[in-house]
Structure 1
Amino acid sequence: MSEEGYTPKASLKYASIVGLQGAGIGAFISAIQNALGTHPHGAMGFVTRTGGTIGFFAAMGATFALTESVVANQRRKDDAVNGAVGACAAGFLAGIRARSIPMALGSCAVLGAAMGTFDYCGQLTGDASLSAEERRKRFFKQPPKPLVDATAE
């Protein structure tokens, strides 16, 4: 996409939304961890015992979204590089949580490559300028036009 057609993204709004979505996913995973474990904490173990999962997923989502939108706003392009850089930052955060610089660098490389490939393939398969109706019409076969006009007689 060219610089003229780029619309800036609201970085903090996007990061907040994705961070809250990440917190929801983290809460779900924390509840599963709590349900599968045996401990004396009861139902509150989902917050007290495995609650760090909630904050971790929220932080990863917010880091990804903030980095992706800041890079897109600086480059004034909406392409696969933005997602790759955002995923690299989120992967680096995961490695730092594990207290390992090699794991942080490896997670950055793996998540960045995966997201960059995903975004790149998504941009190859679809033309963003086409509407959903135009894509549907191009996807399905169209019946051949009749050789003789039946209404002319």
Structure 2
Amino acid sequence: MAPASHPLLAPLSGSSKALFFNSPNEEQMFHEHPTLKSAIRVTLQSAGAGLVVSAAQNALDTHNHGAAGIFTRTGSTIGLFAAMGFSYAFVTNYVANIRQVDSPLNGAAGGCASGFVAGLSRGSLPVAFGACAGMATLIGTFQAAGNNLTGGRPDETRPEREERRLRFFKRKPLTEEA
């Protein structure tokens, strides 16, 4: 029986692809992304996140609206999160399908779209352009780094990652003092 992998670690076999990036050893073949299906799924997920944030905003402020304040007072947060999620997912997948390549530029385009929506919610076009540039830079850089914060390569196996970690954190030999 094969050992079960940990849910937070990369798979041992390396056959499961959680990312859209191809390994340098694989044939570079593009698979079309389901644009609308993915956008609807991300919209519902981000609306759920907006509901949690709206509930937190409602709970931390003093008012006399009660629990309905989640929708009446801070409900625009739910719509903002949903709109940002939809614009990110739709534009990212649409650009990938148009370009026929999976690259960080697709994520940067989606980040620009979601940042623009966030900036428009503030009612300022300069803020919208600034948020577009900021989100595009942030998401594009993150995806160019392999979709992780540690800087590892997406095609790196667990033993290779462990060996790299051990090389990085070298242990100094204990010396005896005279």
In the alignment, structure 2 segments of 5+ residues that lack a partner are: 1-21, 164-178
Q: How many aligned residue pairs are there? A: 136
Larger C-alpha radius of gyration, 1 or 2?
Answer: 1
Is the counterpart of residue 70 in structure 1 residue 99 in structure 2? Answer: no
* TM-score, structure 2 as length reference: 0.72
Provide the residue aligned with 2:4 in structure 1. Answer: none
Q: Which has the higher helix share?
A: 1
Counterpart residue number, 2:35: 11
2:119 partner SS? helix
Of residues 58, 61, 71, the one that matches 1:37 is 61
Tell me the residue number matched to 1:138.
160
In structure 2, the CA distance between the partners of 1:115 and 1:60, relative to structure 1 (3 Å rule), is same
3-state secondary structure, aligned to 2:44: helix
> Kindly, what percent of the aligned residue pairs are identical?
45
- The alignment yields a C-alpha RMSD, in angstroms, of 1.8
TM-score (norm: length of structure 1): 0.83
Q: Closer, same or farther in 2 for the Cα pair 1:3/1:89, shift >3 Å? A: farther
The 1:127–1:34 alpha-carbon spacing in structure 2 relative to 1, beyond 3 Å, is closer
Q: Which AA in structure 2 matches 1:101?
A: L
Which of 7, 12, 20 matches 2:44?
A: 20
Letter in 2 for 1:137: P
